[in-house]
Amino acid sequence: MQAFTTHKGLAVAIDSANIDTDQIIPKQFLSKVTKDGFGIHLFHDWRYLDDAGDVPNPEFNLNKPRYKGATILLAQENFGCGSSREHAPWALADFGLRAIIAPTFADIFYGNSINNGLLPVRLPEAAVRQLMDEVEACEGAEVTVDLENLKVVSPSGAEFSFTLAESARQNLLKGLDAIGLTLAHEAAISDYESRIPAWRR
């Protein structure tokens, strides 16, 4: 998992609340068994005007040239609600997003994001609105997400603090998912296994 320390990138807003996981990655695209290849289907029903995904919707922000290459997504409350599919953070990350900033997140989506190296940042609604307004007002506007110091810096330099459980923060800073966290104790695991009698193996 890619470590997250401080990230500065182009931000894009989807100014909607209650964006559910079926909108993030529709169910018909869940057949893959790896984490790769979901980004092309991200927000499929909003990004495309046809079922095949051949006709982009020019009005949807992620399709606008000014937001090409965006790595930070701004949204409204209850982002990631709906089903618990882990494919949602997979699709967001595969698209190239590193952080999602919203007032609130659905609990399961929030945990799934952290476990997959995607940083969900909770900020007050007024702060999210200011970020959206600044990003909309200035093409190419970048937002900084500083996980080391737990703050977000707007294009104008305004700073907003956020919180994150310290265990989750450390895992993201070190790039450790659940497997990586376990393998960090590989020496102790190997030592334990070496002392198990042969008849018990």
Show the domains of the chain with their CATH numbers. 6-200 (3.20.19.10)
CB atoms within 10 A of CB 134: 19
**What is the structure's pLDDT at 197?**
73
**What is the structure's pLDDT at 54?**
94
- What confidence tens digit (pLDDT) does each residue in 135-177 have? 999 999 999 999 999 999 999 999 999 999 999 999 999 998 6
The angle formed by the CA atoms of residues 65, 101 and 83, to the nearest 5 degrees, is 100
pLDDT < 50 positions in the chain: none
DSSP H or E run through 88: helix 87-95
**What is the structure's pLDDT at 196?**
74
Q: Where are the beta strands (DSSP E) in 78-166?
A: 99-102, 119-122, 142-146, 151-153, 159-161
Measured in degrees and rounded to the nearest 5, phi and psi for residue 63 equal: -95, -10
Secondary structure letter of residue 155 according to DSSP: T
**What is the structure's pLDDT at 33?**
78
Distances (CA, A) of 75 to 54, 82, 153, 186, 189: 26, 16, 16, 39, 42
CA 56 to chain CA mean position, Å: 23
- What does DSSP say about strands 99-102 and 142-146: parallel, antiparallel, or unpaired? unpaired
pTM score above 0.85: yes
